[in-house]
Amino acid sequence: MSTAAATESYAPDELSQFCEHLKTMLASSIHHQTHHIEDPKEITRVAREMFHVVDSEVTQAIQTVKTEFNRRAAVDRLHDELILEILQYCVPTIGKKIPAAYSVCTRWRLIANSSPSLWTKMQLPMAPE
């Protein structure tokens, strides 16, 4: 299954149809890959390998959909300089935890990690969450 297919917009009934189609395709693919195998253990091994591949691809597709969803949020349209300014207000004081704002999303974390001004006043050790 391609990632592009997973990022299409689906209404609830379309999503149900998509899931049914995915199940049908998976069953057909397992049958195609195992119809010539007689050993039940080998059939199980091949099916498990296929499930592992499908699981990995579905996980990747879900992550892609989540990333695209997050990119459409208004907060993602903020300029890096403005995000850095916001993060400046979250610099922890002595003994405090790393602010949650530093982990709002991957982009905010990258900005926080790549901004020396946020880390020059950091006191170590910091309390774990």
Residue by residue, pLDDT tens for the chain (129 residues) are 444 444 455 567 888 888 889 889 888 988 898 889 999 999 999 989 998 998 999 899 899 888 888 788 888 888 999 999 998 888 766 556 777 788 788 888 899 889 888 877 656 666 665
Do the domain assignments include residue 129? no
Q: Which domain holds residue 90?
A: 77-119
Q: Tell me, yes or no, whether 64 and 10 share the same domain.
A: yes
Where b means 16+ CB within 10 Å and e means fewer, 67-100 reads eeeeeeeeeeebeeeebbeebeeebbeeeeeeee
Q: Tell me, yes or no, whether 99 and 54 share the same domain.
A: no
Q: Report the C-alpha gap between 118 and 122 in whole angstroms.
A: 7
Q: Tell me, yes or no, whether 26 and 56 share the same domain.
A: yes
Q: Tell me, yes or no, whether 64 and 83 share the same domain.
A: no
Do the domain assignments include residue 90? yes
- In total, how many domains does the chain have? 2
Q: Are the C-beta atoms of residues 30 and 50 closer than 8 Å to each other?
A: yes
Short-list 81, 91, 89, 90, CA closest to 111: 81
Q: Tell me, yes or no, whether 60 and 109 share the same domain.
A: no
Q: Tell me, yes or no, whether 52 and 87 share the same domain.
A: no
Q: Tell me, yes or no, whether 57 and 111 share the same domain.
A: no
User: Which pTM was predicted?
Assistant: 0.51
Q: Tell me, yes or no, whether 33 and 62 share the same domain.
A: yes
Do the domain assignments include residue 112? yes
Q: Are the C-beta atoms of residues 98 and 92 closer than 8 Å to each other?
A: yes
